[in-house]
Amino acid sequence: MNAPFQSFLAACAALAAFALAGCGGAADGPAGAADARDDGPLVLAFMPDIPPYAYQDRGTGELLGIDLDIVRAAAARLGRELVVRQVPFAGLLPAVKSGAADYAAAGITITDGRKHDADFSDPYAEEGCAFLYRAGDPPPTMITAEGLRVGVVESMSSDFYLTRHGLETFRYSELSELVEDLASGRLDAVFYDRPALLIEAEAAGGAFAVTPLETREPYGIAVRKGRPDLLEAVNAVIRERNGREAPR
């Protein structure tokens, strides 16, 4: 099955999930689709697989992360309730583009192509991708990766980056699946957001190692087009966070 068709199926599945009340998500308010009214709940499409920006506590199941904190604060600023729906990465921007969600967040890289589907907040962080590999193996590079079985999460910037460089990849829907197959030897490396890989390497107790950054990318919150009020609310929160966290 080719990647575009896989992306299409993932997006369809994500949008179908939005049509079912309470399906696959955790809510800060009443369940429902994105509401065009000024007093209805806001909907966040969220993939909790990019710690520390978007993740799920493995013990309690609670949804956490910097992205979620930003959007919750934006909703509070607007005086609106927030519904959080878990969506595969390939379905995040389709959910915002279709109006099924007001916001999408999961360490999303701001690109010109993605701006066709959503407006984007100001960048709130700059991160990048790297390789996760088994400790003791030679560290992968963009040159040596051509002969390796490298796994990515479909439709993420890491997937597009390797594809643009002519590398064949193995596409998955979740980071946990990639790490499992790396540990078992079905993959030689994983290419993904470096902060999340560092957490995986630490959790593995020395079984994995992480290469230096291969890319540098600005992260932003995706916002439904035609809603400058939603965009300004999230930008105001980012400005406040940057001011609060700026070195003195």
Using the 8-state DSSP alphabet, how is residue 145 labeled? Answer: G
Q: What is the pLDDT of residue 244?
A: 63
Q: What is the pLDDT of residue 242?
A: 85
Look at residues 120, 48, 35, 126 and name the one whose alpha carbon lies nearest to residue 81.
35
Residues β-bridged to residue 27: 83
Distance CA 147, CA 126 (A): 29
Distance CA 248, CA 245 (A): 9
Q: What is the pLDDT of residue 243?
A: 82
User: What domains sit in the chain, N to C, each tagged with a CATH number?
Assistant: 3-125+218-245 (3.40.190.10), 129-210 (3.40.190.10)
Helix/strand/coil percent split, the chain, to 5: 35, 25, 40
Q: What is the pLDDT of residue 34?
A: 54
Q: What is the pLDDT of residue 9?
A: 43
Q: From the CB of residue 247, how many other CB atoms can be counted at a distance below 10 Å? A: 3
Q: Taking the chain (248 residues) in consecutive chunks of 10 residues, what is each chunk's mean pLDDT?
A: 39 44 44 57 96 94 97 98 96 97 97 96 96 97 95 95 95 96 98 96 97 96 97 98 60
Residue with structure tokens 């439904």?
224
